[in-house]
Amino acid sequence: MSLSIGPAALNDRYFDSAGVPIRFVEAGAGEPVILLHGYSSSLEEGWADRGVVAALSATHRVIALDARGHGKSGKPHDRAAYGPEMGRDVIRLMDHLGLPQAHIMGYSMGAHVVAQLATRRPERFRSLILGGSAGRLGWTAADQARVDAEADEMDRGLLNAQILRLWPKERPKPTDAELREMSARRLEGKDPRALAAIRRSNPDQVVTLAELAAIPVPVLGIVGTADPYQKDLERVQAVLPGMTLVRIEGAAHGNAVGRPEYVEAVLAFLARLPPMPAAGPLAPEEDGPEEDGPAEYASPACFLHELDPAFGGPATPPGTPPKGRSDGRP
C-alpha cells in the first residue's frame, strides 16, 4: 500500500519485532530521524498528514512507525506486550535497517516512550526531541486510579473519563449523549482491548528526573502554552540546563504538531547539531524479506486527541517509582 504525502508516496513496510508486526515508512535521505506518534494515533495522523514527514524529508531520512497497538501494526492484548516493549520496537527497527544511531522524536505517548528509551539506550541516539510530553515523571496513587478507570472504560469501548479529563476548562462540558458519540467516533476501526492494555502499561514507563538529567545527547522540548505538559517539560529543563525548550503560543496538546512553529523548531534544532560521525552501519538483520502486513493487523489510520475541541481542535497541516505528578495527564 502507498501513502500519499503531498507529491510523494510512501510505501508501507513491515518487520517482525519479537513476534509483533510493526509497520513503518521511509522518506528522504540524510541523517535518520525516527518519529513515534501519540496515543491512539498513527504515523499518518500524527506526522504525515500534518506535513512533518514532508518537511523533514527534504533534509533527512525520515522513518515513521505505527507504534504497536496502533494503526497497522500488531495489536496484542496483554499489558506485558507494551510498556518498555514499545521503545524496544524502535531499537529493533534500527537494527533491522542497520542503523547504529538516529535522531528520535516522539509526541505525547511517543515522547513518554522515547524519553524512557533514551535513558536506557542513549548510545543509539544522536539527539532526542520531546513533543508535548516529558516522560512519565513519577507515579502516584492518583495516577494509578486514573489509569485503572480509563482502561476499564476502554475495555467497554468508552472514553468518557479521558474526554472529560482533557476537556478545555473554558468550554461547556459535553452531555452524556455527546460523550457516547465522541467515544464511538474516536474508537471506530480501533482495537479497544489493545488500547486498554497500553493504558495499563503506563506505570511501566516511569522515568526519574535524575535519569533524564543524565541523558548525554542534545534534547529539544516543544510544547504549546495551553498544554498542561508545559510544566513537566520545564521540570526537565531545570535539571537539564542544556535542553532547548520551545513554547508555541496558544497551542494545545492536540494541535501543536500542526502549527508551523513545530516543524520549524525541529528543523532549526537539527540544523544546529554537528554532523553525525561517520560510522560503519550495523549489518541489517537477516530475517527474510519484508512482507505486507497480515490482514488481521490492518486497520484504518486512527488517532485520539487531534480532532475534537477537547484536545485543541483539528491541526493545521503545513523499583518503586518516585513520587511525581498527580494530575493524571495522558
**Per the domain annotation, does 185 fall within a domain?**
no
Q: Could you give the number of structural domains in the chain?
A: 1
Rounded Cα gap, residues 63 and 36, in angstroms: 9
* Range in 150-164, 228-242, 315-329 the model is least confident about: 315-329
Whether 294 has a pLDDT exceeding 80, the answer reads no
pLDDT tier at 291, thresholds 50, 70, 90: low
Amino acid identity of residue 257, one-letter, is V
User: pLDDT tens-digit profile of 276-290?
Assistant: 987 665 655 554 445
CATH number at residue 87: 3.40.50.1820
Per-residue model confidence (pLDDT) at position 174: 87
Give the closest residue to 57 by CA, choosing from 91, 100, 94, 103: 103
pLDDT tier at 10, thresholds 50, 70, 90: confident
**Per the domain annotation, does 265 fall within a domain?**
yes
Cell readout for 245 is: 525548550
Average pLDDT of the chain? Answer: 84
**Per the domain annotation, does 25 fall within a domain?**
yes
Range of the domain at 270: 2-137+206-311
User: pLDDT tens-digit profile of 71-94?
Assistant: 999 999 999 999 999 999 999 999
Contact, 211 vs 322, CB < 8 A?
no
Give the closest residue to 30 by CA, choosing from 57, 50, 68: 57
**Per the domain annotation, does 192 fall within a domain?**
no
**Per the domain annotation, does 195 fall within a domain?**
no
**Per the domain annotation, does 46 fall within a domain?**
yes
